[in-house]
Amino acid sequence: MNDNLTIETIREGFREVHANIRKVIDGLDEEALNWKPHPEANSIAVLITHTLGSEREMLAAVRGVRVPRDRPSEFVAEADAKSLAEMLDQADAWLDEQTNGMSQADLEAERPRGDFPPRRGTAWLVTNYGHAREHLAQMDLTKQLRGS
């Protein structure tokens, strides 16, 4: 497969996830963004913070770079719409930066990620895209449960 097509497809997929997250948070106040439908569930703010943290770490790993990540802090995050929109803008910029520099070698290389064993770059990209879509669905459901 053409590496440029794979990379462009991944970039478009994550851009679509980001756009849909923006739709979920549109018009929500801070209380709604930080509301949990159950004490052991995650708020929309947590889901966004975690999803973007995972995406950032994964994109760097595919490029063979390690970035700092405090995963446990993602699950206690609270945020307002403005800060979440800024996080999404930063994620868009990081996505562009990383995919613009991505190569066929990055897609094929076995790369470690966090505490996970090495996997091919393409595998990281596809599984993380699925992860992002799962959390997007959770965000949408949380919004529906809140009645926002």
- Using CA atoms, how far apart are residues 97 and 93, in angstroms rounded to an integer? 6
- What pLDDT, on the 0 to 100 scale, is given for residue 114? 83
Task: Tell me which residue range forms the domain holding 132.
Answer: 3-146
Which tens digit of pLDDT belongs to each residue from 92-139? 999 999 999 999 999 999 999 988 899 999 999 999 999 999 999 999
CA distance linking residue 50 with residue 47, whole number of Å: 5
**The domain spanning residue 18 has which CATH number?**
1.20.120.450
pLDDT digits (tens, 9 = 90+) for 10-57: 999 999 999 999 999 999 999 999 999 999 999 999 999 999 999 999
Q: Are strands 110-113 and 116-120 parallel, antiparallel or unpaired?
A: antiparallel
Q: How many domains does the chain have?
A: 1
Where does the pLDDT of residue 143 fall: very low under 50, low under 70, confident under 90, or very high at 90 and above?
very high
